[in-house]
Chains A and B, each alone.
Chain A
Amino acid sequence: MSLHLQRELERLKKHLLSLCAVVEDHVHKAVRSLLDRDPRLADEVERGDDDVDRREIEVEEDCLKILALYQPVAIDLRTIVAVMKINNDLERIGDLAVNISRKAAAFIAEPAAEIPIDLELMWEKAQGMLRDSVNSLIDMKVELAKDVCRRDAEVDRMKHDNRKAIEDLICNNPALVRPLMRILAVSRNLERIADCATNIAEDVIYIVEGKIVRHHEE
């Protein structure tokens, strides 16, 4: 009985990790599409979102099956509960990647405008958080997960600074309002990705320690 459950859990983890990989790839492509002015990448993300949705359903079905057939307890129960939430977060990140790719496609289609904020740096931070949250999940590393949670404030601050900078630019150059609003939206989406990475890290802490750390400032 336990061996069956172990096998099911391994399978679930594999499905979740391949969803992680796809989603990471989508965010990467969406951002690169904007920074490199490459509309093909944006298009790939848009078309790939169905795959993300399908994988999300697959992971959820795996979870429901394990709950129904094995009534897991302790670490196994915490894993399933956390995987269901992480699954939602990953799907959400997939959607945010689509948002970014659409803003990128629109931005590229318009007359070339400069990107006035350091989106590359912001992306690096958010991507690092996403990668580390997934790594903390793979290796069940609480310290790494806690580090991800701490880094969220930095990305929040960047979003805030970006908004102020873009507001000022719009005041001074009203003609650029459309492209600037798109860039602002990308900044906001990257910040949301960092938030989702934080959620994932919090769920990893829950799996390992059994403590719900959401809504608690350190």
Chain B
Amino acid sequence: MISTATPLSTTPGIHTRNLNLWYGSFQALKEVALDIKPGIVTALIGPSGCGKTTLLRCFNRINERYGNVRTTGEIAVLGKNIYDADVSLSELRKAVGMVFQRPNPLPISIRENVLFGVRVHVKRGAYGRGELDAMVESALRDVQLWDDVKDKLKKNALHLSLEQQQKLCIARLLPLKPRVILMDEPCSALDAEGIERIELLLQELRKRFTILIVTHNMAQARRAADECIYMLLGRIVEHDATMKIFHNPREKETEMYVTGRYG
């Protein structure tokens, strides 16, 4: 299983080699080889349909939920091959949390949303009420939501604003102590202020996790990511520090994309 206790080290957060993926006969990922560093925010950028979301979904194996998907090659999360027989999907998804484009809180209370993962993954009665309360507070504090919701924890989460809902969706990953957080355009449903606050939150969270974010918003990649990966037609074109990608990219294709001449 993927340990949730090993400290962040020089082991890449996510490592892939010869990763290929087909939807039926269409090849969506081609020979992807990446070493994504732990403890930083990495942005996946590229035009629509280039495979960003497909790649992101490989890392917690939710692609497999769709029929006719075939994957070959290596994927390791924190040094552990996620296709090994001793890795259960449930363990993998505990270690690799995911946040989606549209906030998707469950239509239950704020408190129960935060505890949902624990309820699924941990045997009933393993934690006392006090421990669960502490978990809820800590997760909501980590996403800077505690002060807004501490007096209405029993309220239905659907009453929160979109920004608060998205923060809640991040918060509910935290009690499971994930090592990697995957975000698929997490700000696309939010207004400018919401975007800014989620980006600030990323800065706070990044040291503790490997954060991988898919974004169409170049300005967001510049502001929020330490490194960027530019993808085109299922291939990795360039992976480098954000400063390098936006100041002096190595590849002409990257330059064409970031300057808005292509894509």
Contact = CB atoms under 8 A, between A and B. Distances in A.
Nearest to A209: B248
A75 B258 CA distance: 10
A209 B250 CA distance: 9
B259 A2 contact: yes
A76 interface: yes
A145 B219 CA distance: 33
A2 B260 contact: yes
Contact of B246 (A2, A5, A73): A73
Interface in A162-218: 209-211
A76 B259 contact: yes
Interface string A35-75: 00000000000000000000000000000000000011111
Nearest to A73: B246
B247 interface: yes
Contacts of B222: 73
A76 B257 CA distance: 12
A113 interface: no
Nearest to B249: A74
Given A71-B219, A73-B222, A78 B247 contact: yes
Given A210-B247, A210-B248, A75 B260 contact: no
B218 interface: yes
30 contacts: A1-B260, A2-B259, A2-B260, A2-B261, A5-B259, A5-B260, A6-B261, A72-B259, A73-B218, A73-B222, A73-B246, A73-B247, A73-B258, A73-B259, A74-B245, A74-B246, A74-B247, A74-B248, A74-B249, A74-B255, A74-B258, A74-B259, A75-B255, A75-B259, A76-B259, A77-B246, A77-B247, A78-B247, A78-B248, A211-B248
Which label, helix, strand, loop or mixed, suits the secondary structure of the B interface?
helix
Nearest to A5: B260
Contacts of A209: 248
- Shortest 7 CB-CB contacts between residues of A and residues of B: A210-B248, A2-B260, A73-B246, A74-B255, A73-B258, A74-B259, A74-B258
Given A73-B218, A73-B222, A210-B247, 14 more contacts: A2-B259, A2-B260, A5-B260, A73-B258, A73-B259, A74-B245, A74-B246, A74-B248, A74-B254, A74-B258, A75-B255, A75-B259, A209-B248, A211-B248
Nearest to A211: B248
Interface in A1-48: 1-2, 5-6
Interface residues of A, number: 15
Contacts of B259: 2, 5, 72-76
Nearest to B252: A75
B201 to A, nearest CB: 23
A47 to B, nearest CB: 41
A129 to B, nearest CB: 26
A44 to B, nearest CB: 41
Interface in B50-87: none
Nearest to B263: A2
A210 B246 CA distance: 11
Contacts of B246: 73-74, 77
B247 to A, nearest CB: 6
Contacts of A6: 261
A76 B258 CA distance: 10
A211 B258 CA distance: 19
A72 B218 CA distance: 11
A211 B248 CA distance: 9
Interface string B227-261: 00000000000000000011111000011001111
Nearest to B261: A2
Interface in B198-226: 218-219, 222
A73 B221 CA distance: 12
A72 B254 CA distance: 14
Contacts of B245: 74
A215 to B, nearest CB: 19
Contacts of A78: 247-248
A72 B222 CA distance: 12
Contacts of B247: 73-74, 77-78, 210
A41 B260 CA distance: 47
